[in-house]
Structure 1
Amino acid sequence: MAMSRRRFQFLNQLVELYQKKRIPIHYETLAKAVGVSKWTAYDMLKEIEKSGYVTRSYEVNPNETGRSQVVFAPTDKATDLFTQQCSNVLESEKWEESAQSIRNLIHDLKHINIQDLLQKMLDEIPNRRSNLEFCGYILGILLVYLKKVGGKTESVIRLLISRASSHHASLLMFVGTVLGTVIQTMSDEISNEIADLIGEYVEMIGHLSSGEQTLLSDFIKEALA
């Protein structure tokens, strides 16, 4: 069963309550936190339970002697879901800092000749500590070159990227297409250095998460828009 925005809201609130109290949560407590009736909360939790994100149990009701009440707790599946969500948010925030650094560098160097510009970009790469950031700077180098060349080359590559079957395919297609032009027009020293770095890039792309690949693919599309 798909996790709708509404179900996600309820599950998120249940996880937060459970992490604070460290005990299973009664549906009436969840209802108050979300701002709905207790029956709405109960019905929603039953639906979420079908997806394996929560589990129900019964405990003694402290307000009614001899009677038990239904309580719910998030499963490991729910914990994994929100751990991944937090990871994706941090990943996106860190990447945006790197992406802005690349944009700034390109902007600051746009008036110098392309050989010096590419060398400056190459000098920046050893300082990149994550695979995502490294791949971002490789794309930055090639985007710099492509913007300088412009014309039909940029138009063709933009079309190719838009038709790629996946983010992974678009990242490989972009680099492979631009690299062919770079090697033909750059000095042997810079061309060889870029070719070596592209080899590392291709290997790293395969190890990036789907979220990271999406960030890089969107960065290319934004630059080519």
Structure 2
Amino acid sequence: MNLTERRKEFLRHVVELYRKTRLPVHYPSLAKTLGVSKWTAYDVLRELERLGYLMRHYTLTPGGVGRSHVVFSPSRKALQIFDPKEASEEGEGYQEWRAVKEKVLSTLRQAASEERLQEVLDTVLGEFYQAKSPVARAAWSIALFLAYVRQLGHKGRTAIQRLMAHAPGGKTRLVLLAGAVLGMWAQEKDGFWEEKLADLLREHVPFLLRLTDEEASLLDPLWQESGL
């Protein structure tokens, strides 16, 4: 299988979309750009994946409940074709997000132990204030709320789980998480949480609303993958 002119044209558009958003490309978006059916776009992207020019990932569908969709990001091999300098300098941005995500999930797994909760909270807050990209900052903000949920009793955690499972996906679900935490926090008035959550909640919702749908779709699965 060779990189024909047709495949190269599809690949060029994937790279261009990726450069604009720094996020993986959903094949219906590419189909709209090229004026082809989404199935044609999907088939060509699968061919490019087999050739090593694309990497496949899965994200939850914005507005959906528990449904994932396939997205593609260019490999270093693809970037090398169109801009060798970019390939060496930028690398694969999605790998950076995966590293952030893995660190968030690893940190949250430690929050299962009450003895380590304070240590985990300190780590989450430190990472939040040091994060440079909008998605990384939002991920650590969400991690703080999830860490709070982990220290709730069975009744509180179950209520949050049900809310999240039935809420629309994307930004809506992330905003609802913040609101639910705010409601539970207001009943407890714990000194530590009163100080930390009040500050974060003031900026959390406006910050989430500024995220693109693609960015929100990357963040949405965190609540499930954290073992909430």
Superposition TM-score, scaled by structure 2 size: 0.56
1:193-208 mapped onto 2 (5 Å cutoff): 193-208=196-211
In the TM superposition, what whole-angstrom CA distance separates every residue of 1:12-45 from its partner, at most 9, and x where no partner exists? 4444599xxxxxxxxxxxxxxxxxxxxxxxxxxx
Alignment CA distance shift 1:10-1:221 (3 Å)? farther
Alignment CA distance shift 1:13-1:154 (3 Å)? same
What is the CA-CA distance between 1:85 and the residue it aligns to?
Answer: 5.4
Give the aligned partner of residue 135 of structure 2: 132
Superposition TM-score, scaled by structure 1 size: 0.57
Structure 1 residues without counterparts, runs of 5 or longer: 1-8, 19-49, 55-81
Structure having greater relative contact order (Cα 8 Å, sep ≥ 6): 2
What is the CA-CA distance between 1:93 and the residue it aligns to?
Answer: 2.9
Q: In structure 2, how many angstroms separate the alpha carbons of the residues matched to 1:12 and 1:183? A: 55
In the TM superposition, what whole-angstrom CA distance separates every residue of 1:64-123 from its partner, at most 9, and x where no partner exists? xxxxxxxxxxxxxxxxxx9x9548xx5543222111111222334543254454244223
Aligned 8 A contact 1:121 1:137 in 2:
yes
1:74-89 mapped onto 2 (5 Å cutoff): 86=73
Give the aligned partner of residue 95 of structure 2: 93
Aligned 8 A contact 2:108 2:226 in 1:
no
Give the aligned partner of residue 106 of structure 2: 104
1:22-101 mapped onto 2 (5 Å cutoff): 53=34, 86=73, 92-101=94-103
Alignment CA distance shift 1:185-1:114 (3 Å)? farther
Q: Identity over aligned residues, as a percent?
A: 19
Q: In structure 2, how many angstroms separate the alpha carbons of the residues matched to 1:192 and 1:17? A: 49
The residue type paired with residue 209 of structure 1 is: T
Alignment CA distance shift 1:94-1:113 (3 Å)? closer
Q: In structure 1, how many angstroms separate the alpha carbons of the residues matched to 2:98 and 2:222? A: 10
The residue type paired with residue 146 of structure 2 is: L
Structure 2 residues without counterparts, runs of 5 or longer: 14-30, 36-53, 55-70, 75-91
The residue type paired with residue 122 of structure 1 is: L
Give the aligned partner of residue 158 of structure 1: 161
Give the aligned partner of residue 182 of structure 1: 185
Q: Number of matched residues? A: 157
Q: In structure 2, how many angstroms separate the alpha carbons of the residues matched to 1:172 and 1:224? A: 19
Q: In structure 2, how many angstroms separate the alpha carbons of the residues matched to 1:174 and 1:131? A: 18
| Greater gyration radius | 1
Aligned 8 A contact 2:164 2:173 in 1:
yes
Aligned 8 A contact 2:111 2:117 in 1:
no
Q: In structure 1, how many angstroms separate the alpha carbons of the residues matched to 2:215 and 2:106? A: 21
Give the aligned partner of residue 46 of structure 2: none
The residue type paired with residue 98 of structure 1 is: V
DSSP-derived class of the 1:178 partner: helix
